[in-house]
Chains A and B, each alone.
Chain A
Amino acid sequence: MKRVAVPAALGVALMVLPLAGLLQHAPWSNLWTELASDQGLAALRLSLVCSLGALGVALVLGVPLAWVLARVPFPGRALVRALVTLPMVLPPVVGGVGLLGVFGRRGFLGRHFGSWPGFPLPFTTRGVVLAQAFVAMPFLVVAAEAGLRQLDARYEDAAATLGAGPWRRFRTVTLPLVAPSLAAGAALCWARALGEFGATITFAGSLPGRTRTLPTAIYADLQTRPDAAVALSVVLLGMSLAVLVALRGRWLGAR
């Protein structure tokens, strides 16, 4: 027992001590002043807008993708599943380089569509959303696919025998049943988008108010205004905790 307890306790310390260090360094007396600075508020607003945008993209594209992966057998499905979950383990900065290779001015799409509406993407707020969606969408896809797989298809079959069309079946039977997994996936996806740094700074740069999200602002401020950096870090920590609490039924509640 003792042999396991020591490394386990060290493991907890490794996870928890940095958070304690952050809170201990937080400029509590003027936390609000640091946060309410123009740059802090701009980064906070931008991060909220972009991470929610990325979540929107992930829902619109990721739920149908999860459906196909869970329900439609086709050759190469395992390969497609592996490919679309790759961003979960890929270093985000590599994703940023790849996005530039596609949508950059010399990228194979950006080169041709650079003047189309919605383009260009690099160094724009849209680019931040895209970079965050690239990194975060797999979290939604994996959770939604697992939910769909666990679903007993007989409920849908029953609805079909009662005359419900495919869309009505999805809306009234499937969706309510997978809602918990979908919500958990969405929360993880949003949290991942909120914390995205590597792909964002590589693909979208770092312009206050436009592409400098909270993590990039923290990185920039750490060198010149460490108090502001720690204050913003505390905000991100708080948001992450909020996600965890929202998921408590799934993880914290489990024994």
Chain B
Amino acid sequence: MRRAAAVLLAGAAAATGCGGSPPAPRTATITVLAAASLTEAFDDLVPAAHARYSFAGSQQLVAQVTAGAPADVVATADAGSMAQLVQAGLVDPPRDFARNRLAIAVEPGNPRRVQGLADLARPDLKVVLADPSVPAGRYARQILDRAGVTVRPISLELDVKAVAAKVAAGEADAAIVYATDVGRAGSVAIPDDANVVATYPVAVVKATTHRAEAQAFVDRLLGPAGRAVLAARGFLAP
């Protein structure tokens, strides 16, 4: 929760602290809880000055909404997390807005010569995965099971951005993350027969006090603007 709180604070500071340079929108600023892998795409779509973002692992988003976090829109990286919110009657009917594949992130230039999934079992390679409690970790486990590869990770991080960060910082040699999270690091593709395609649903939170603005955000995400931004960040169409 500590990190989520920090993000909320940072988001609030960004929303209130920018000295007028983009004129403040007349509409209310909405709060969007979104899967960590959506960080860049959502910032592209609606700048943080006009929406408060809190990015975290999808399971954490479920916990936050369930605990009554003041949110207007929630977007998760898997159908299962969203289904928990639907079952609890906390959100409107969700709609899928993007899909994502997974990939192997390696250091720039791939100095350890990672060729594919089988290499992740190499004892000389430091591999980081997401914890199976978040979608990225569950997908990574499915992929490795399908490929019949046994990996001994050095850490199971609690959201996918933390996984990608370990490779970016040079503390790990390889990681399984979303294709959109590879970022500055290099990437090695995972073959289609082993890969998993993640579906991203979005929904308006029933307890929202800004229903019109929340619906407008969802519409923008599902419309041409959202498609373009998501495609530019490497997401697949729903």
Contacts and interface: CB of A to CB of B under 8 A. Distances in A.
B171 A122 contact: yes
A100 B171 CA distance: 9
Which secondary structure characterizes the binding site on chain B?
Answer: loop
B177 to A, nearest CB: 15
B170 interface: yes
A205 B154 contact: yes
Interface in A188-246: 197-198, 201, 204-208, 211-212, 219-220, 222-224, 226
Contact of B133 (A205, A211, A223): A223
B128 interface: yes
B169 A104 contact: yes
A54 B126 CA distance: 25
B136 to A, nearest CB: 13
Nearest to B2: A198
B155 A223 contact: no
Contact of A207 (B57, B63, B153): B153
B156 A207 contact: yes
B133 A220 contact: yes
B171 A223 contact: no
Given A123-B171, A198-B2, A205-B128, A224 B133 contact: yes
A205 B131 CA distance: 11
A239 to B, nearest CB: 21
Contact of B156 (A100, A197, A208): A208
A220 B131 contact: yes
Given A104-B169, A198-B2, A223-B62, A207 B154 contact: yes
Contacts of B31: none
B3 to A, nearest CB: 9
Interface residues of A, number: 23
Contacts of A169: none
Contacts of B133: 220, 223-224
A81 interface: no
Contacts of A207: 153-156
A123 B154 contact: yes
A211 B63 CA distance: 24
A169 B13 CA distance: 58
Interface string B159-175: 00000001001111000
A242 to B, nearest CB: 25
B158 interface: yes
A106 B170 contact: yes
Given A123-B154, A123-B155, A105 B63 contact: no
A28 to B, nearest CB: 21
Given A205-B155, A206-B131, A208-B156, A223 B60 contact: yes
A207 B131 CA distance: 9
A7 B190 CA distance: 60
25 contacts: A93-B2, A104-B171, A123-B126, A123-B154, A123-B155, A123-B171, A197-B2, A205-B154, A205-B155, A205-B157, A205-B166, A206-B155, A206-B156, A206-B158, A207-B153, A207-B154, A207-B155, A211-B155, A220-B133, A223-B60, A223-B62, A223-B63, A224-B59, A224-B133, A226-B63
Given A106-B171, A206-B156, 20 more contacts: A104-B169, A104-B170, A106-B169, A122-B171, A123-B154, A197-B2, A201-B158, A205-B154, A205-B166, A206-B155, A207-B154, A211-B155, A220-B131, A222-B1, A222-B63, A223-B62, A223-B134, A223-B158, A224-B59, A226-B63
Interface of B: 1-2, 57, 59-60, 62-63, 126, 128, 131, 133-134, 153-158, 166, 169-172
Rank and list the top 6 A-B pairs by shortest CB-CB distance, nearest first: A205-B155, A223-B59, A123-B154, A224-B133, A106-B170, A223-B63
